[in-house]
């Protein structure tokens, strides 16, 4: 089975989770990373054994790499659209963190750019691929639960009960 070579643009906490998941699959591998933060590059390079020549401090260089077939975009939301468009122009497969865009007009432009191209594009909604979703779809298709009138699904976290949900480090008090 051929492995898809992945690159990650933006090396925050969610990118660390994504990169760690490659140990659980056999059809993909992380080969390249890009960040503006040299410490993050160094840390990811060591942890995931990325070749030095495929570690970039410029996102464009990752997109220009012939080694990279698919790109996971884990940048701040306001940068998603710009880098999705650049990935399309470089014929890279794309997985972008949610939200993929900030508005409908950006998504329509992405759709137009993808038109006629055979490129994978997805927004990182993991729930879509969970086993229980497949089971629910099968139950509906097999007409085992009757006619669907409406459906509602909710996922959330009670942030009032979580401490330090954003991962900020507390400043040490000076004596």
Match 């399309």 to its residue by tokens.
88
What pLDDT score does 167 carry?
A: 61
What pLDDT score does 161 carry?
A: 66
What are the residue boundaries of the structural domains of the chain, listed by start? 4-127
78-131: per-residue pLDDT in tens?
999 999 999 999 999 999 999 999 999 999 999 999 999 999 999 988 777 788
2-61: per-residue pLDDT in tens?
899 999 999 999 999 999 999 999 999 999 999 999 999 999 999 999 999 999 999 999
**139/69: higher pLDDT:** 69
What pLDDT score does 147 carry?
A: 83
Structural domain 4-127, CATH architecture = 3-Layer(aba) Sandwich (3.40)
The DSSP line for the chain is: -PPEEEEEE--SHHHHHHHHGGGG-SSEEEEEEE-S-HHHHHHHHHHHT--GGGEESSHHHHHH-TT--EEEE-S-HHHHHHHHHHHHHTT-EEEEPSPS-SSHHHHHHHHHHHTT----EEE--GGGGSHHHHHHHHHHHTTSS-------------TTS-SSTT-PPPPPPP-
141-175: per-residue pLDDT in tens?
998 988 888 877 776 666 666 666 556 666 666 65
What pLDDT score does 7 carry?
A: 98
What pLDDT score does 148 carry?
A: 82
């Amino acid at each position: 089975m051929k492995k898809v070579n992945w690159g990650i643009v933006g090396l925050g906490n969610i990118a660390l989770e994504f990169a760690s998941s490659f140990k659980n699959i056999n059809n993909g591998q992380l080969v390249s990373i890009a960040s503006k933060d040299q410490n993050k590059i160094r840390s990811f390079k060591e942890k995931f054994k990325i070749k030095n020549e495929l570690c970039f401090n410029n996102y464009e260089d990752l997109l220009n790499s012939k080694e990279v077939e698919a790109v996971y975009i884990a940048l701040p939301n306001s940068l998603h659209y710009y880098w999705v468009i650049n990935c399309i122009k470089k014929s890279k497969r794309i997985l972008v963190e949610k939200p993929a865009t900030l508005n409908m007009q950006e998504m329509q432009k992405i759709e137009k750019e993808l038109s006629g191209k055979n490129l994978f594009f997805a927004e990182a909604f993991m729930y879509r691929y969970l086993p229980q979703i497949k089971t629910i779809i099968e139950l509906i298709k097999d007409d085992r639960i009757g006619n669907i009138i409406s459906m509602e699904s909710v996922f959330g976290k009670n942030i009032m009960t979580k401490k330090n949900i954003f991962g900020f480090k507390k400043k040490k008090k000076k004596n």
